[in-house]
A and B are shown apart, each in its own frame.
Chain A
Amino acid sequence: MSKKEKKVHPYIPNSVPEVKAKMLEEIGVKDIEELYGDIPEGLRFKGEMDLPEALPSEHDLKRHVEKILSGNQTCQENISFLGGGCWKHYVPAVCDEISQRSEFLTAYGGEPYEDHGRFHALFEYESLMAELLDMDVVNVPTYDWCQAAGTSIRMAGRITGRTEILVSDTVSPERLSAINNYCRPVVTLKMVKHYPETGVMDLEDLKSKMSSSTAGIYFENPSYLGFIEHQGKAISDITHKNGALSIVGVDPVSLGIIIPPSHYGADIVCGDIQGLGMHMSYGGGLGGFIATRDEEKFVMEFPSRLFGITKTSVEGEYGFGDVAYDRTSFAEREGGKEFVGTHAALYGITAAVYLSLMGPKGMQEMGKVIVQKSQYAMKKLSEINGVKVPIFELPHFKEFTVDFKAAGKTVEDINKFLRKNGIFGGKDLSKEFPELENCALYCVTEVHTKNDIDHLVQTLNDFL
């Protein structure tokens, strides 16, 4: 290395020796090392970090990374039926165009003046989601549904002054794990059973677990296992009677054809916006939303940024700013509500673009196409010998359970065979739900064609 000419790295302009020298002279030191004078010798890292040889040439770097990435097989090259909290929906080109804009991609904490567009776009995101959810308050996105659910529950705890939360036992196990860690040790979780035949909540169990410590109930609709919980109103009524809050996690993609949780008594609604214009990116496309009514007792418990619309000194000009900023941890540290920071704002802007493109008809048609295709898939799959679809005898949205117990082969083996035939089969539920051993969670969306579904059915027929 030492014999090679040392080149200035394109990311570090002031590496130019003459510039460095001039700057050192202005500071009045001989060497950059002097600037580190406060770091004691004993804390110094001796020697050079053991990292691979650098690839400062952009082309070399591109080839290197692309070679590694070529080890991936994608849901574009295969037909994927995976869902369970991250879904393959079509991402419109305009969504990519906007989310890739340097102005949005590289902005951060600007003021509502030079970053007016960021505030404006995220205000529109809140507003568009509000229509979908039929609620008046939506936050700037948090990390994901895990966080949105965790925060919704903690909000309910603070609003009611109670410390126990009831959770439907059909929620996503991954999400449950995150909720559990987020609540522990302040809020205790208690699971509510489902009816084994239909999957929906066992209302008697719910009633028996309600107590004066119950802050609320959290359930998901459509559930992680795909069926639609039609008892929302009864669940909310039981909860409200007990002075507790009804918290519902929802897939916003379903809301063109399914009523939003606010229509069956939900007080806090949360979920993920990944399906609204975000690529899956190995799960990196998640973004969480939380919505409530426009009541002070709810609004003041949000930890998130809430961008509001206001006026400026010029008549007719829209201005934006933070609503009730003093409730945040930015303002009050541990005295604020939970914490705020860098979450998933860019995805909020992208979801705004998506909902603007889709409009009311687009969301309606989306819902319809999805239920038609998933119903078709369920129907065709159920015709296969030894396969029961769905396990729960209720309508589903885009996901459904497939029971392979009677087929005499494991989900693992089935999926291995499917992979050889260019298909990513549904997620194995054996580990997550012991009673669903050898069952898989399949997901069908608007991107699947009849041919895709028929190919799956044919391939399964060949194997089983």
Chain B
Amino acid sequence: MKTINKSKLRNFHQAKWDEPIIFELSTEGERGLLISEVEKEIEESVGDGISKLPENMIRKKPPALPEVSQMRVLKHYLRLSQHCLGADFNIDIGQGTCTMKYSPKINEVLVRSPKVTELHPFQDESTVQGALEVMYKLDIFLREISGLSKFSLQPGGGASAIFTMASIIHAYHEFRGEAEKRDEIITTIFSHPSDAAAAAVKGYKIITLYPNEDGLPEVGALKKAVSDRTAGLLITNPEDTGIFNPKIEEFTKITHDVGGLCGYDQANANGILGVTRAKEANFDLCFFNLHKTFSSPHGCGGPATGALGVTEELINYLPVPVVEFDGDKYFLNDNLPNTIGKVRGFHGVFPAVLRAYAWVMSLGAEGLKEAASVAVLNNNYILEKIKKVNGASAPFARGRHRIEQVRYSWEQLTRETGVTVEDVICRMVDFGFHLWTSHHPFIVPEPFTIEPTESYSKDEIDEYIAGLEKVVEEAYKEPDKVKNAPYNSVVHKIDNSTLDDPQKWAITWRAYLKKHKGGS
């Protein structure tokens, strides 16, 4: 069929149900679910059960949960779901650094199988050969994709994987009697906040490198930062600006030369699958977000997996158990002499692992590389378009191409119209788009980060750009319209003033009733 231009801006309005809080729907006596009653023989044998509990431990007053019939509970949460703009609805390219790609529906069918949902993590290995096979094979795939030697699928997300890297780095130096001396971790400001934060939880002092005019940390700055106190380097590449650090091998060498380990935060791997790997840049550890690069859905913020890989030398430090194959059967190995122990309960998030496995199997080696290269194509296409949008700019590395995302700035727009990135975000909502600022601190003023991934068509990308252009046009002509947005969302301008005030904040309904409605 001949292509027609479909990228016009929509006359959008989000669902608005004016839905109450679930407690306001309560009617005494209504029930949402009945559970199986005990058989008469059990009742006769043990009585009510409760009277055998220690008297001081029996709850006399039931929890003050709402009483709501089943259909009303269903309707309430369905309506709330309509108040939420998931990636399945939205051209979700405005949440840069988060790789909002398509999460294939077939993978949801697979994870909903009782062959997955009805597995207990303590089942005998002989009864979970299918699950172990998927875990083992994904480990093998990730070894191939990274060039490293073994993966743990246990960490519960990117930050958890970073914490695991910091834990392994600590254990490694501890084994050498150097843990106390080596108390510094080096990262860059355009690496995810968790690279700094999670390492600090491990007791490390954090040294953060800032970018030069190319947007990159300088070799000289790293040389100054390293010493015999360096435990390791935790770094993304490309950084959150989408700029690839071509000197990354020098970075790992400088760190290694002082005895530090190098951990590669591969949250930004989506543009480089099959192109460049942790191994070639001499990293000792790396991780992939299975909920980002490998298509497992983001679930409003988890559950997720940060699959963590290490070189041969560090395998013994991995969280346990790891999955092995003896040529006949798959089994769990707890026997790693230097293991840091557990980082998440049991074996991590198996559904995320299964989805990642299915995604790789659907694409294969060639498909993975195609996904990466189209993600890069889409990104650079958007870069060309946004460079032409009034008031927008792409700081750093001018005239160069980017990998999978770009951190842009509305600095000029704000200067010329008073409209800030927060205002643009609110107005974009009116056209059915999500736009996000970027992680703090705002090194790039009035920042926004666009990451298109491989999932969106050119038409959709053009539609998104048309949205940005429209908001910018309004900003110059009638800035107040943008500043007072949104108009077509579920809610209007939110009053944030109570949220930082301990006297007024209300994190639960009962706290709200106490603080704002005179309840007790």
- A174 on interface, CB distance cutoff 8 Å: yes
Q: Among A61, A116, A427, which residue has its beta carbon within 8 angstroms of that of B122?
A: A427
**Residue pair B130, A49 in contact (C-beta under 8 Å):** no
Known contacts A12-B454, A131-B510: A257-B156 contact under CB 8 Å: no
Min distance, Cβ B131 to any Cβ of chain A, angstroms: 5
Mask of A315-349 contacts with B, CB within 8 angstroms, 1/0: 00111111111100111111010111111111101
Number of interface residues of B (CB under 8 A): 220
- A166 on interface, CB distance cutoff 8 Å: no
Known contacts A82-B122, A260-B59: A118-B84 contact under CB 8 Å: yes
Mask of A25-54 contacts with B, CB within 8 angstroms, 1/0: 011110010111111101111001111111
- B1 on interface, CB distance cutoff 8 Å: no
Min distance, Cβ B281 to any Cβ of chain A, angstroms: 6
Number of interface residues of A (CB under 8 A): 213
In the bound complex, CA of A145 to CA of B59 (Å)? 23
**Residue pair A137, B59 in contact (C-beta under 8 Å):** no
- A464 on interface, CB distance cutoff 8 Å: no
Q: Tell me the residues in window 268-315 of chain B with beta carbons closer than 8 Å to chain A beta carbons.
A: 272, 274-277, 280-281, 289, 291, 295, 297-304
Extra inter-chain contacts (6) besides given A324-B505, A343-B302, CB under 8 Å: A11-B454, A98-B77, A127-B22, A318-B21, A318-B491, A379-B46
Indicate the member of B455, B497, B500 with the most A CB atoms within 10 Å: B500
Known contacts A11-B362, A258-B53, A330-B439: A323-B507 contact under CB 8 Å: yes
**Residue pair A312, B492 in contact (C-beta under 8 Å):** yes
- A409 on interface, CB distance cutoff 8 Å: no
Chain B, Cβ-Cβ closest to A120: B80
Min distance, Cβ B12 to any Cβ of chain A, angstroms: 10
Mask of A60-100 contacts with B, CB within 8 angstroms, 1/0: 01101110111111111110101011101011101011101
Min distance, Cβ B54 to any Cβ of chain A, angstroms: 4
Q: Among B36, B346, B371, B434, which residue has its beta carbon within 8 angstroms of that of A12?
A: B371
Name which of B107-115, B255-263, B411-419, B466-474 contacts chain A.
B107-115
- B228 on interface, CB distance cutoff 8 Å: no
In the bound complex, CA of A329 to CA of B158 (Å)? 13
Q: List 23 A-B contacts (CB under 8 A).
A: A11-B104, A69-B113, A70-B115, A73-B127, A74-B118, A91-B117, A92-B33, A103-B85, A104-B300, A185-B170, A185-B203, A282-B346, A312-B493, A317-B18, A334-B197, A339-B159, A339-B197, A345-B299, A356-B65, A360-B65, A363-B63, A372-B43, A450-B39
**Residue pair A136, B84 in contact (C-beta under 8 Å):** no
When distances are taken between beta carbons in the complex, the residues of chain B under 8 Å from A145 are 345
**Residue pair A352, B384 in contact (C-beta under 8 Å):** no
- B336 on interface, CB distance cutoff 8 Å: no
When distances are taken between beta carbons in the complex, the residues of chain B under 8 Å from A76 are 114, 118
In the bound complex, CA of A160 to CA of B508 (Å)? 25
When distances are taken between beta carbons in the complex, the residues of chain B under 8 Å from A49 are 144-145, 274, 365, 368-369
- A102 on interface, CB distance cutoff 8 Å: yes
Min distance, Cβ A340 to any Cβ of chain B, angstroms: 7
Name which of A204-212, A237-245, A302-310, A385-393 contacts chain B.
A302-310
In the bound complex, CA of A308 to CA of B503 (Å)? 13
**Residue pair B83, A117 in contact (C-beta under 8 Å):** yes
In the bound complex, CA of A28 to CA of B159 (Å)? 38
When distances are taken between beta carbons in the complex, the residues of chain B under 8 Å from A329 are 159, 193-194, 196-198
Min distance, Cβ A35 to any Cβ of chain B, angstroms: 4
Name which of A16-24, A399-407, A455-463 contacts chain B.
A16-24
- B512 on interface, CB distance cutoff 8 Å: yes
The list of the 9 closest CB pairs from A to B, nearest first, reads A54-B364, A283-B346, A117-B83, A341-B159, A357-B32, A329-B197, A283-B121, A346-B299, A71-B130
In the bound complex, CA of A377 to CA of B141 (Å)? 45
**Residue pair B103, A106 in contact (C-beta under 8 Å):** yes
**Residue pair B95, A108 in contact (C-beta under 8 Å):** yes
Known contacts A260-B59, A324-B500: A279-B495 contact under CB 8 Å: no
**Residue pair B346, A127 in contact (C-beta under 8 Å):** no
Indicate the member of A109, A141, A326, A449 with the most B CB atoms within 10 Å: A109
- B14 on interface, CB distance cutoff 8 Å: yes
In the bound complex, CA of A94 to CA of B340 (Å)? 39
In the bound complex, CA of A229 to CA of B454 (Å)? 54
**Residue pair A117, B366 in contact (C-beta under 8 Å):** no
Q: Among A107, A137, A144, A313, which residue has its beta carbon within 8 angstroms of that of B492?
A: A313
Q: Tell me the residues in window 118-165 of chain A with beta carbons closer than 8 Å to chain B beta carbons.
A: 118, 120-124, 126-128, 130-132, 134, 136-138, 140-141, 143-147, 154
When distances are taken between beta carbons in the complex, the residues of chain A under 8 Å from B489 are 113-114, 116
**Residue pair B298, A94 in contact (C-beta under 8 Å):** no
**Residue pair B197, A137 in contact (C-beta under 8 Å):** no
Q: Among B249, B440, B495, which residue has its beta carbon within 8 angstroms of that of A310?
A: B495
When distances are taken between beta carbons in the complex, the residues of chain B under 8 Å from A446 are 35-36
**Residue pair B364, A279 in contact (C-beta under 8 Å):** no
- A196 on interface, CB distance cutoff 8 Å: no
When distances are taken between beta carbons in the complex, the residues of chain B under 8 Å from A177 are 341-342
When distances are taken between beta carbons in the complex, the residues of chain A under 8 Å from B134 are 65, 68-69
**Residue pair B277, A45 in contact (C-beta under 8 Å):** yes
In the bound complex, CA of A174 to CA of B381 (Å)? 49
When distances are taken between beta carbons in the complex, the residues of chain B under 8 Å from A450 are 38-39, 41-42
- B401 on interface, CB distance cutoff 8 Å: yes
Min distance, Cβ A200 to any Cβ of chain B, angstroms: 10
Indicate the member of B32, B100, B145 with the most A CB atoms within 10 Å: B32
In the bound complex, CA of A379 to CA of B49 (Å)? 12
Known contacts A14-B454, A15-B370, A369-B35: A314-B492 contact under CB 8 Å: yes
Q: Among B31, B70, B301, B374, which residue has its beta carbon within 8 angstroms of that of A108?
A: B301
When distances are taken between beta carbons in the complex, the residues of chain B under 8 Å from A223 are none
